[in-house]
Amino acid sequence: MSAQEPQWLDEEEQEAWLALASVFLTLPGSLDSQLQADSNMSFYEYMVLAMLSHAPDETLRLRNLAALTNGSLSRVSQVATRLEVRGWLKRRQDPEDGRTTLATLTAAGRRKLAKAAPGHVATVRRLVLDPLTKTQVRQLRDINRRIRGAIEPGGRAIFGGHGS
């Protein structure tokens, strides 16, 4: 069996890929730094609270929360423990499936998220949205949906048309 020659990236493709990779490497740290400094929470902790705030009854199964935040069940469980100690979420056994744990946003978690959101949104605007035109924002959304679809064919979009 002969190995096929890779389909190398042309110059334009390589520039696009390296620009995207650079965003992957730098943006999470910038978001995390802002949230740590302003709200004493990590970007991942913020996303856990945000996903719960958008869920029906502000409750999700831990495995669903892990999928929505692109984390492992182990990671989301560790974060849930920290957030529960802070009083920002509550865990309990799923009454419909005793093997499953539910996480629910608490009133204190809702307040913490509401307090953290303005600074986070301002940082997202400054770093991601403000440098773009409205058309480019729509293109960014569409491009990201296509990439996400290639990563998870037939998968459910994490973020719909609602704000976060």
Task: Look at residue 163 and tell me whether its pLDDT is greater than 80.
Answer: no
Q: What is the pLDDT of residue 154?
A: 64
What integer pLDDT is reported at residue 153 of this predicted model? Answer: 76
| Domains by residue range for the chain, with CATH | 30-150 (1.10.10.10)
H or E segment to which residue 99 belongs: strand 97-105
Q: Which residues contact residue 123 at a Cβ distance below 8 angstroms, ignoring those fewer than 6 apart?
A: 30, 31, 34
pLDDT at 161: 36
* Pairing mode, strands 59-61 and 89-94: unpaired
Q: What's the confidence (pLDDT) of residue 98?
A: 86
Q: Is the predicted pLDDT of residue 11 greater than 80, yes or no? A: yes
- The pLDDT score that the predictor gives to residue 164 is 34
pTM, whole model, 2 decimals? 0.85
In this prediction, residue 82 has a pLDDT band, given cuts at 50, 70 and 90, of very high
